[in-house]
Amino acid sequence: MSAPERPQFCPWCGSPLPFEQHGHEPRYESLAKEARARGADPPRLPERVEDMLAGESYVGACPGCRVVSHVIGHRA
Ligand SMILES: [Zn+2]
């Protein structure tokens, strides 16, 4: 298994940008937890959809355009 590629440039202005790895649970997990907290029982997503939505995420604040970017690194 190869490591996902770490983004290195600001997607907005193209400046070199040192992204940091940003660990958080995938969005679908948060949503499922919220639904269960309300007493609902959400169906699980198909595994390949979860794979697509998971992945490593990175965050970087651009010194050039001052945009904070969250980027998901996809496995090649
Ligand atoms: Zn920028």
> What pLDDT is recorded for position 50?
76
DSSP string computed for 11-29: TTT--B---EE-----HHH
Question: What's the pLDDT band for 21 if we cut at 50, 70, 90?
Answer: confident
**pLDDT tens digits, residue range 44-63?**
878 887 777 767 788 899 99
Structural element, H or E, at residue 52? helix 47-53
Q: Please, how many CA atoms are within 13 Å of residue 68, restricted to the half-sphere of its CB?
A: 3
Cβ pair 49, 65 in contact under 8 A: no
Residue type, 38: R
**Domain spans in the chain, listed from the N-terminal domain onward:** 20-73
74 C-alpha to center of ligand 1: Å? 21
Model pLDDT, residue 45: 79
**54 Cα: distance to centroid of ligand 1 (angstroms):** 25
Give the residue-averaged pLDDT of 5-31: 83
Q: Are 60 and 17 in contact (CB under 8 A)?
A: yes
Q: How far is the CA of 40 from the centre of ligand 1 (A)?
A: 41
**Ligand 1 centre distance from Cα of residue 32 (Å):** 33
68: CA distance to ligand 1 center in Å? 8
